[in-house]
Structure 1
Amino acid sequence: MFVATPAMPDVTMTLLCPAQDECSLAIYLSGFQQAIIGIGLVVMMPIIGNLSDVYGRKGLLTVPVTLSVIPPVILAYRRTKKFYYFYYVLRTLTGMICDGGIQCVALAYVADHMSQAKRASAIGILAGVGSAAFVCGTLADHFLSTSQIFLVATIAAVYMQIFLEDTTRIKEYSIEEQPILRNNEMENTELDCETTKNIKVFKKVPSLKDIICFLRKSPTFPLAASVAFLNSLAEGGEQAPFQYFLKAQFHFKKDNFADVMLIANICSATSQLLLMPMLAPLIGEEVLLCLGLIAGFTNLLIDSVARKVWIPYTAALLPIFTSLVKPSIQSIVSKQIGPSEQGIAQGCISSISSIAIILSPFIYCPLTALFLSEKPPFRYPGLASCALALLG
């Protein structure tokens, strides 16, 4: 999944706006795709999380892993404008499941096997492995041509199917651990937020009322959800549109994007694999969360005033702190609910974050396109990053 990311701005610009450094069409297409994927994630993440609680983690993890392979096959076969749009549609559809489904179910799997005392460290290590995968994909990007990149990106890992043991669904629960959404074998009754004994079921798909009831179970859960929303709102602006800002401002190419991503993810992997397991037991996830949020604000502010090409590379060091935000939130949420609800809990947080991902392009894409155009209201190419720093 990661090996193709640095190449996408170059491929998109070459096919849609050849011989140009600024392309409003590419910016708006990326923002539209981000918003549509976000809408899909809002719906799909609680469903996938809940189904993994019912049917086991491995089966539900297989679906997004398999679907993620399909879009790169299109560009590996041929890169023309028609094939790009075919890729664009497939990437949008599969992203509704893949972009959050893998992480959501993997987090629930970790929670199944870890005690609360060790869960923050375990979730940090899981996030660190993801960052390390990004580093490996970005390094591979340096040694592969564009055609080879999309060919390599079609190779799916077989590790999961061979070695991963499925989590057995818990059939008997204590009163405190009753699942919010139960399977069809259990009696269908009216949803009652005052007790966990009366549960409404509709084909194992959580309704909005189910999710609202779930959010009210713990006073900490809605607070964590609010932080996740605001952080994702800021992070959403640093996705594809920000790459087009760098391309217009500093004439970045595939290798430049790969270098910045490499620095950021080496810092992230180091922090998540080493710092979080060491610091979480000592100072707690709440302090780590505050450090990460402050670093995220600083990162966006620095990017907004970048005038020299070295500044984005320097700002890429800050993920050593910003990468602690999501694992901290996920760990806090995981400790608020019982073992039978880990999937839907992480799905709800992913869904709420996805709402922010939907809204972010409506803020970031128009501002980016406007202030990179030939006639901006005033000269401030990084205004969108500054606005997101204030929002996030």
Structure 2
Amino acid sequence: MEQSLISYHLFVSYFLFNLAIFIVYPVITDFTMEALCPQKDECALAIYLTGFQQAITGLGSVFALPLIGSLSDLYGRKTLLTIPFTSFIVPLAILAYSRTAPFVYAFYVTKTLSGIVENSTQCLALAYVADNISKEKRGSMFGVVIGVGSAGTLAGTLAARFLPTAKIFLIAAIISVVAAVYLQLFVKDKSSPSNPLSQPIMRTEIDRTTIECESSQEIQAFTKITSFRIVIDLLKSSRTLMLAAFVAFFDMLAFGGLQSSLFYYLKAVFQFNKDQFAEMMLIAYISATTTQLFFIPMVSPVMGDKLLLSFGLFSGFMMMLLTSIAWVFWVPFSAALLSFFYFLALPSLCSIVSKQVGKKDQGMAQGCILSMASLANIVSPLIYSPLTALFLSDGAPFSYPGFSVLCIGLAWLIAFITSTMIPSVSSDEITTADNLEA
């Protein structure tokens, strides 16, 4: 009962955090273009600014995620969750105050900085749950964790569809503050070290020796985890983890292209606005929430993580293929229904990774794999932003406005092919902690 209550409080705070993020996501494109390119349907500056912000965020996350994940193994999940929960408040407050060009630029600067640690939230939430659940049930429970995040995304997207545009950033900032406060008040973390203020001031020589020894070990551990070698050591320890890292890279390469390019393509070709963006996201995230909260717990024990991962990635490819050749406005909406199957991929991949390590290394493992995904965030805008701008311009080498969207799908096709090479988890069991300590 206590374990369920602990997870419940984490789910509430995680839900609110995602709600705050995605309540603003459908309107950012419109606000950016209105501030930088007023009265235009195309804006190369906005595309490149979004891509630049994404690339810098990805570069920072490559180094930050393994560090944050490993620090959570040492200092506790809740302690490190506080960082992304509080950092996101600042960019929201900026646009809540004003949405003129200088404040839009300030938003992108602060959003870049907060985004570096923002991606660690999912990694830490998964590690938190893995601390409290058996290996056999992680596939289903990871689906629930990510499903709660998708439910927050769905609620945020739905709210964005109906809330007054001028009030969205203020409401998002308030929700973000509530999420951070709720995390501090209610979430309990069994992995957190005891509060040093609760220790007695007067200690014996034996106590001092013990504390000095523990402090020395803690310093050594911190020195070890601040090195990027931890990622290399982890991936070398298992073929499964190596292939999972490749899958994570190409999955995020595609998803990053989707974030930086798809809305600009739809706005240029079909004149989509905030309402259409929100409606498309509603279709996607209703599918995601249904899949992750209800479908995965039912089918994961039967079908297995590997099959669900491959099926989800292939669905992502088909979704982009259909969108790239859309001939009328409803085709992208129809293609978005395939996200019901695409959202099988991430919980399955995280479950595969989790089963390769012990409980003491969950934060490190999830952080390292997500850092490879963040590496894709650096590459993705360098590929898709110029490609999107080129094929939406009059100087396109051939008439195919959705060519960049097709290329997004090809990245998912590569991830799908790689996923079929992952060995069965049961045949590739390792003890990563032993390997890394050796």
Query: Is the shorter-chain TM-score for this pair beyond 0.5, marking a shared fold?
Result: yes
Q: Could you tell me how far 1:16 is from its partner in structure 2? A: 0.4
Matching of residues 208-223 of structure 1 within 5 Å: 208-223=228-243
1:243 aligns with 2:266: no
Q: TM-score, normalised by structure 1?
A: 0.91
Please give the per-residue CA displacement for 1:57-98, whole angstroms capped at 9, x wherever unaligned.
Answer: 111101100111110100101111111111111111111111
SS of 2:131 mapped into structure 1: helix
Corresponding position of 2:324: 304
Corresponding residue of 1:166: 189
Aligned residues: 370
Q: Does 1:103 align with 2:122?
A: yes
Aligned residue in 1 for 2:156: 137
Shift of 1:168: 2.1
Moved more, 110-119 or 381-390: 381-390
Matches within 5 A, 1:189-208: 201=221, 203=223, 205-208=225-228
Q: For the residues of structure 2 that align with 1:167 and 1:17, how far apart are their CA atoms?
A: 51
Q: Does 1:330 align with 2:350?
A: yes
Query: Aligned pair in 2 of structure 1 residues 187, 382: CA closer, same or farther (>3 Å)?
Result: closer
Letter in 1 for 2:191: T
Q: Output one character per residue of 1:331-389: Cα deviation in whole Å (capped at 9) or x when no partner.
A: 00001001110001000011000111111111111110001012211110010111222
**Structure 1 gaps, min length 5:** 172-181, 189-199
Residues 1:121 and 2:152 are matched in the alignment: no
Alignment partners' CA distance in 2, 1:389 and 1:257: 19
Among 289, 303, 306, the alignment partner of 2:309 is 289
How much does 1:159 deviate?
2.7
Instruction: Give, in angstroms, the shift of residue 209 of structure 1.
Output: 2.1
Q: Which range is displaced more, 201-210 or 223-232?
A: 201-210
Match of 1:368 in 2: 388
Helix, strand or coil for the counterpart of 1:153? helix
Cα distance in 1 for partners of 2:388, 2:237 equals: 40
Deviations 1:207-240 (A, max 9, x none): 1222211212222111111111111111111003
Q: Distance in 2 between matches of 1:123 and 1:208?
A: 26
Counterpart of 1:166, as a letter, is D
Identity of aligned residues (%): 51
Amino acid at match of 2:51: G
> Structure 1 105/183 Cα, relative in aligned 2: closer, same or farther at 3 Å?
farther
* Counterpart-to-counterpart distance in 2, 1:280 and 1:17: 47
Residue 146 of structure 1 pairs with residue 144 of structure 2: no
Q: In structure 2, what is the equivalent of residue 195 of structure 1?
A: none
Alignment-derived partner of residue 340 in structure 2: 320
Say whether residues 1:390 and 2:434 are aligned partners.
no
Residue in 1 that maps onto 2:252: 232
Relative to the length of structure 2, the TM-score reads 0.82
Distance 2:214 2:404 in 1: 46
**Counterpart contact for 2:249–2:375, Cα < 8 Å:** yes
1:8 aligns with 2:8: no
- Find the aligned partners of 1:328 and 1:132 in 2 and give their Cα distance: 18
Over aligned residue pairs, what C-alpha RMSD do you find? 1.7
> 1:184: Cα distance to partner?
4.8
Cα distance, 1:143 vs. partner? 2.1
Partners of 1:56 and 1:204 in 2: CA distance: 17
Query: What is the CA–CA distance in structure 1 between the aligned matches of 2:224 and 2:146, rounded to whole Å?
Result: 28
2:241–2:356 CA contact under 8 A, matched in 1: yes
Alignment partners' CA distance in 1, 2:60 and 2:128: 22
How far apart, in 2, do the equivalents of 1:274 and 1:341 lie?
28
Higher helix share: 2
Match of 2:71 in 1: 51
- Counterpart in 2 of 1:186? 217
